[in-house]
């Protein structure tokens, strides 16, 4: 019998100077709310590969993954069920910013003028920006 375990997700803080990329969510939960780009890790994929893929799919940007921001495992972080997020700091490395896949919009926000955020993404952003950037 296979054990029941949390789902593995990635969240990406894409930073350019004092700005970060946020996406507007297309689907529930938090449909219409802003969030960090991210999503589920596919079987056979590393978390770094998943972060690059999700960033590209949701923002149109290719990213260079920097440092690990942290691992976020509060069982209540996602109303769909228990998930564990691996969050990375990244910088843009090409592409053109545009919403796609699960995002109706992707745009830059000054890190001190952020809208309300879905999930625990304000905490992840705070952790990412409180340390030296890549």
Residues 6+ apart with CB under 8 A from 98: 59, 60, 106
Q: 109: closest CA among 100, 97, 119?
A: 97
- What is the helix, strand, coil percentage profile of the chain, to 5? 15, 40, 40
Q: How far is CA 4 from CA 29, 67, 81, 111, in A?
A: 22, 29, 12, 37
Q: Tokens 């942290």 belong to which residue?
A: 70
Q: Cα angle at 117 between 83 and 60, to 5 degrees?
A: 80
Q: Is 19 part of the annotated catalytic residue set?
A: no
Kindly list the catalytic residues.
105
């Amino acid at each position: 019998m296979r054990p029941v375990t949390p789902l593995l997700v990635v969240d990406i803080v894409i930073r350019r100077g004092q700005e970060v990329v946020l996406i507007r969510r297309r689907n529930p939960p938090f449909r219409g709310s802003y969030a960090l780009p991210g999503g589920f890790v596919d079987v056979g994929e590393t978390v770094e590969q998943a972060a690059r893929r999700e960033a590209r799919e949701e923002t149109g940007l290719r990213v260079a993954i920097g440092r690990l921001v942290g691992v976020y495992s509060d069982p209540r972080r996602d109303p769909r069920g228990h998930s564990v997020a691996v969050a990375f700091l990244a910088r843009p490395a090409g592409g053109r910013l545009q919403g796609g896949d699960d995002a109706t919009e992707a745009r830059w926000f000054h890190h001190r003028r952020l809208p309300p955020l879905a999930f625990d993404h304000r905490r992840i952003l705070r952790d990412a920006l409180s340390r030296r950037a890549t």
